[in-house]
Amino acid sequence: MAVRLDDGDDELSEINVTPFIDVMLVLLIVFMVAAPLSTVDVAVNLPGSSAPPADRPQDPLWLTFTAEKALLLDETPLDRTAVGAALDARTEGNRETPVFLRADRSVDYGALMGVLDALRNAGYLKVALVGLEGAP
């Protein structure tokens, strides 16, 4: 777009988009670095599974049972007597929400059944057990 000045000088006015592109590239790099850091990870020694991996939902509900027999909802410690109330608060009472249960390999079967019973008593029947992909 050319602008004609009154004094006879021709001046070409253009928008300089280089700073805008620089800012966008910096933001892209920041988000590329920050996105993997925002995942929820609790150190659990999961058993392996040879089943093909399933599709991961958009916002999964993780319930973790650690080797110390501590129960965590995402990364928040949870009392076993308050499993139903905590899940209801997180899912807004939608008991059809799938719960992904990660249990440490060293947890005994009886303790794991106690957690599954607590989930069933709370009304959460869609429970998926999580294991390592591709392990025998």
pLDDT at position 25 is 95
pLDDT at position 38 is 66
Sequence ranges of the chain with CATH classification 3.30.420.270: 48-133
pLDDT at position 98 is 87
What is each CA distance from 27 to 17, 20, 24, 36, 37, in whole angstroms? Answer: 15, 11, 5, 15, 16
pLDDT, averaged per 10 consecutive residues of the chain (136 residues), comes to 57 81 93 75 69 72 88 87 88 87 87 89 87 65
pLDDT at position 59 is 75
Q: Which residues does residue 80 pair with via DSSP β-bridges, in sequence order? A: none
Q: pTM for this structure? A: 0.58
Whether residue 64 contacts residue 72, with contact meaning beta carbons closer than 8 Å, is answered with yes
pLDDT at position 3 is 55
Cβ count within 10 A of residue 69: 16
Query: What is the CATH code for 48-133?
Result: 3.30.420.270
